[in-house]
Structure 1
Amino acid sequence: MAEQPELENGATSPDVQSSTPGAKLRAAREAQGLSMQDVATRTRIAQRQLEAIERDDYSALPGIPYAVGFARAYARAVDLDEVAIAADVRHAVHNSELGTNRYEAFEPADPARVPSRVLAWTAAAIVILLVAGFTIWRTQMLTPPTGQEIAAEQAKPVTAAKPAAGARPAAPVVQTVVFTANDDVWLRIYDEAGERLKDGLMKKGESFTLPANARNPMILTGRPQALSVTVGGKSIVPLGAPDRTISDVPVSAAALLARAAPASAGAAPPSAPSAAQLPPVRPVTGSVAPAIPAAPAPAPAAPPAAN
């Protein structure tokens, strides 16, 4: 492979620079006469993060999923092939400082123990196949039986009494799922067919209501703690540990309520019955001892006889 031409002081020629993902995005933006603020408005991504994408400075971004996601959104905004841009970014980010830091903890200290290149690529291919197979299996087995039972229970109409003849049946209760950003956070919400219901950066204070007809919706984000989730106005526990990327996490009303079910499993023991609730105490009855008759009075003494 021929070496790339270099300019004075080690600089790379303009043809080489324009082949980077950031340079392609910048060229497309300038060709359309768009400013960086215009792209930020279209993508709802912070301008400083878009500037980092244009500079190919992936170490300035929170992580690899953010770099790829921001680049795809940028490409859509300027009418470029987002799949090709995402592939270029993945290739570039794994060769950057961000990709090096991600795997440096797994590098052996002894170079003699480094596996061969063929073995390393074979192991990587096996891992990719296993992950793909697990993802397909998990998608098919996503909804647990408990979630289905909860959904069926929620779909029953709530009525206080049997309706009178001719009355309209009560409509099923709709559990609305709402996501609210406590801080700026990038997320993607998609259904089982891969359709994206929400994709991009949510600003602090912004809310998103999940469509009622979403089929097995799931979420991908790197900052679960920056989201508050409610189902029918009821708060749900965080979706994951702080600053840990989560993916394929179900966010339907049934799945979220199933997560919150164990918290309400305990119930207070019944209180002791009050004195008014106790049965009346019956008096103890028994045989009465017979009365002892009084001793008879002594007879009066006889008068003395006359002489």
Structure 2
Amino acid sequence: MIQPLRNEVESAPVAIAPMGLGATLKALREAKELSLGEVSARLKYSGRQIEAIESEQWDSLPTGVSLRGLVRNYGRFLETNTDALVSMLDSQVGSTGARPVAVSSPATLGAADVSLQNDPVHRSWGWLIIILILLIVAAFYAIERGWVPDSWLVFDWLRSLKK
């Protein structure tokens, strides 16, 4: 009897090197068939910055929160998990988040810090005058139209405006 031939191909385990942030972003961009120019135009970052992210040239990119924002925007544009991208960024570059600042004891104001004379307040009297004129014009218009009751008109010359 004839036995079917078995092709037993021993597949060697393929060692997949973990991809860095730049390679991940580049692979996602290429999967969506987007060019660097399209990404650059959409994100409003220069093509050199996008290339620097994809080639992981961190020294030519802004640091801190700006870099995190750039990576988040790029990830959002590629419709991927931005939190995972930021954690990859932190593992490669170091923590880029806002660092807490140690607050020393609250400073007290000394005698030299307090002004002995009050600084004059510069207010624009023009607006006050314009508002006052508008209120007077509105009042005379209301009297002339008869919208104001006679009991409110205490002066005779105001009553004469109503007639």
TM-score, with structure 2 as normaliser: 0.51
Contact 1:64 1:93 in 2 (8 A): no
After superposition, where does 1:110-189 map in structure 2 within 5 Å? 131=100, 158-161=127-130, 162-163=132-133, 164-166=136-138
CA-to-aligned-CA distance 1:213-255 (integer Å, 9 cap, x gap): xxxxxxxxxxxxxxxxxxxxxxxxxxxxxxxxxxxxxxxxxxx
- SS of 1:62's equivalent? coil
- SS of 1:92's equivalent? helix
CA-to-aligned-CA distance 1:58-116 (integer Å, 9 cap, x gap): 12213233332221111111111112211211220129xxx9xxxxxxxxxxxxxxxxx
Gaps of 5+ in 1: 1-12, 100-127, 135-152, 168-307
Structure 2 letter corresponding to 1:16: A
Partner of 1:91: 91
- Which of structure 1's runs of 4+ aligned residues deviate more than 3 A? none
Q: CA deviation at 1:132?
A: 7.8
Report the count of equivalent residues. Answer: 102
Q: CA deviation at 1:33?
A: 1.0
- SS of 2:128's equivalent? coil
Give the structure with the larger strand fraction. Answer: 1
Give the structure with the larger helix fraction. Answer: 2
Q: Distance in 1 between matches of 2:90 and 2:37?
A: 25
Q: Distance in 2 between matches of 1:85 and 1:43?
A: 16
Partner of 1:196: none
Q: Distance in 1 between matches of 2:101 and 2:47?
A: 34
Partner of 1:16: 17
**Larger Rg over CA atoms:** 1
Gaps of 5+ in 2: 1-14, 104-121, 140-163
Contact 1:53 1:67 in 2 (8 A): no
Q: Distance in 1 between matches of 2:76 and 2:45?
A: 13
Structure 1 letter corresponding to 2:86: A
After superposition, where does 1:238-253 map in structure 2 within 5 Å? none
User: Is 1:71 aligned to residue 71 of structure 2?
Assistant: yes
CA-to-aligned-CA distance 1:137-163 (integer Å, 9 cap, x gap): xxxxxxxxxxxxxxxx99xx9232522
Structure with the larger RCO, 1 or 2 (CA within 8 Å, 6+ apart): 2
Q: CA deviation at 1:133?
A: 9.3
Partner of 1:30: 30
Partner of 2:60: 60
Aligned CA RMSD, in angstroms, stands at 3.3
| Aligned-residue identity in percent | 26
- SS of 1:79's equivalent? coil
User: Is 1:48 aligned to residue 58 of structure 2?
Assistant: no
Structure 2 letter corresponding to 1:61: L
Contact 1:72 1:85 in 2 (8 A): yes
Q: CA deviation at 1:32?
A: 1.0
Q: Distance in 1 between matches of 2:137 and 2:102?
A: 54
Q: CA deviation at 1:166?
A: 1.3
